[in-house]
Chains A and B, each alone.
Chain A
């Protein structure tokens, strides 16, 4: 008991993250209606997920026109915004996700 208490919090978090690596990716994509950037982002993220994360992702597309309170809750300014909620650490990417290398880096796939 005493030993476990002494493990620093950051390390504990890492342990959990490692355990979860085999788990599903949880991705949130914030868009604004079907403005060009948003439409492109949706197409791009779907393609990336199909190619690299087949069967192990949960993608949620959120329209902040419909749910404006989430814009405040998630501190959103730039749109489209992709948030990798899981696995940790959380990552944020803005833009239409057309630079696939950067997206993969951000998702820690490559």
Chain B
């Protein structure tokens, strides 16, 4: 008995109507509830109309489901013109009788209320519109206009009727409404619409606006409960569902050379794992970008595609600068093997950067992605958010088997305090530190591999030479070799220490 009921539960699949909107169907596990109304809430300028329109257009183009759009706010010709910029050709769908648009005007001033009434007129028009094109999808955009024109209590009960009418008509409907101040509780819509409620939001943090989407309620179905950022561009809406990643990561045993022979030597003589994440951290001017550029150069030389995301220097500045160490990136950039993504970190939210980068990745399918430097992005927004965003981004790259290299600029002071770069070093597979150290009263660049998962890596701190022929690593040489080196340095340090403390004492007494 128990077994039977169990299988019944697992076999049941809630009927859904796919939206065709990238990402949204992942969050909702397949789309909006079929033959039921969904409430789409949001403030002005959140993208409600566009999302609703995309739902209709995708219904026509992808799922052969004709649609009806009832516009309460915009004129029909304006609406058609407005969505043309999103490459929706409504005229075509209209002439093919796959779509029906109707404007509904509510003019408060011209109406006198003389007694009880219903909005049956709207029902009649809807029914006619649906029958016209045999619609399976309906959009009402937006309900608020009705509230400005008609009596609230009447509307409340009429909407209840409308929503159950949609179910009888077997159409999947999107009804948009303003979120406003406590809209939900004021109008009490959520109580009876309530099969699915999606909230759109356009928030400004640190002067950067981000659109977000949240599925507040979905009766009878699992759904992602977080807020997901989304963008509207010429290809329509893309929601960025970050939950779905990280489950099907593959771990490759293939290796990829770092492009620096001596560095490969330090890591099993083979280099990084394909699809792993690599972090290079170091203070300013220690050669992080040079390491990254050498890696990019080597990848491109093997005719594999590389995406270089520069957040500090312009691409042509990088190519020029790297020329000085014998890394010629320009031919690769011209032939398209190397793609630069250049953007000011402050231009948009980190998540939007990731969305943009992800789109490029989809287009060019690189085998290596370089982010230089990741720390510049970290100034935008609270730290915990960034870490989780980065983790999800790295997860995404791993599922795609893309090797990713970050550089991170750290300040001298933070090396002692917190050398782990805002905690990102714990999530990467290979972590290298480049540093200026003082040897024999001379500042030299050094490099060491702090960690490298799954390989026997060298623990040595190597001297890091940048010359016109590229990057080489060599042992750190001290003038007097052997056992005396350490003791000599100790003596020297002690001497330094004593002089420092001595001077402190001196200051104390002087005061």
Name the A residues within 8 Å of B111 (CB-CB).
78, 92-94
A94 in contact with B125 (CB, 8 Å): no
Chain B 139-167: CB-based contact to A (< 8 A → 1; otherwise 0): 00000001000100000000000000000
Contact of B146 among A72, A77, A94 (CB under 8 A): A77
Interchain CA distance A107-B235 in the complex, whole Å? 53
Contact of B115 among A40, A75, A92, A105 (CB under 8 A): A40
A76 in contact with B125 (CB, 8 Å): yes
Chain A 72-101: CB-based contact to B (< 8 A → 1; otherwise 0): 100111111110000000011111111100
Chain B 110-150: CB-based contact to A (< 8 A → 1; otherwise 0): 11111111111110110110000000000000000010001
Name the B residues within 8 Å of A82 (CB-CB).
114
B115 in contact with A96 (CB, 8 Å): yes
Chain A residue at smallest Cβ distance from B129: A72
Interchain CA distance A76-B104 in the complex, whole Å? 8
Interchain CA distance A42-B150 in the complex, whole Å? 22
Contact of A79 among B113, B118, B146 (CB under 8 A): B118
Q: How many chain A residues have a CB neighbour from B under 8 Å?
A: 34
Name the B residues within 8 Å of A94 (CB-CB).
111-114, 117
Q: How many chain B residues have a CB neighbour from A under 8 Å?
A: 23
Tell me if B343 counts as interface (CB < 8 A to partner A): no
Contact of B114 among A30, A65, A99 (CB under 8 A): A99
Query: Given the interface contacts A71-B121, A92-B110, does A97 sit within 8 Å of B128 by beta carbon?
Result: no
Interchain CA distance A93-B104 in the complex, whole Å? 17
A68 in contact with B150 (CB, 8 Å): no
Query: Would you give the shortest CB distance from B27 to chain A, in whole angstroms?
Result: 34
Tell me if B73 counts as interface (CB < 8 A to partner A): no
A-B contact count (CB 8 A): 96
Name the A residues within 8 Å of B79 (CB-CB).
none
Tell me if B105 counts as interface (CB < 8 A to partner A): yes
Which residues in chain A, 2-31, are within 8 Å of chain B measured between CB atoms?
30
A106 in contact with B117 (CB, 8 Å): no
Name the B residues within 8 Å of A68 (CB-CB).
124-125, 127-128
Name the A residues within 8 Å of B124 (CB-CB).
32, 64-65, 68, 71, 76
Interchain CA distance A107-B115 in the complex, whole Å? 15
Tell me if B245 counts as interface (CB < 8 A to partner A): no
B125 in contact with A98 (CB, 8 Å): no
Interchain CA distance A69-B132 in the complex, whole Å? 11
Which residues in chain B, 265-321, are within 8 Å of chain A measured between CB atoms?
none
Chain A 32-61: CB-based contact to B (< 8 A → 1; otherwise 0): 100101001100100000000000000000
Chain A residue at smallest Cβ distance from B103: A75
Which residues in chain B, 72-122, are within 8 Å of chain A measured between CB atoms?
102, 104-106, 110-122
Contact of B121 among A40, A78, A98 (CB under 8 A): A78
From A71, A78, A92, name the one whose CB has the most chain B CB atoms within 10 angstroms.
Answer: A78
B112 in contact with A92 (CB, 8 Å): yes
Name the B residues within 8 Å of A106 (CB-CB).
112, 114
A79 in contact with B112 (CB, 8 Å): no
Residues of A within 8 A of B (CB): 30, 32, 35, 37, 40-41, 44, 64-65, 68-69, 71-72, 75-82, 91-99, 102-103, 105-106
Sample of 7 more A-B contacts, CB < 8 Å, known A72-B128, A97-B114, A97-B115: A32-B124, A71-B125, A80-B117, A95-B117, A96-B114, A103-B114, A106-B114
30 contacts between A and B (CB under 8 A): A32-B118, A32-B121, A32-B124, A35-B118, A35-B120, A37-B118, A40-B115, A64-B121, A64-B124, A72-B125, A75-B104, A77-B119, A79-B119, A79-B120, A82-B114, A92-B111, A92-B112, A93-B112, A93-B113, A94-B114, A94-B117, A95-B113, A95-B116, A96-B115, A96-B117, A98-B115, A98-B116, A102-B112, A103-B114, A106-B112
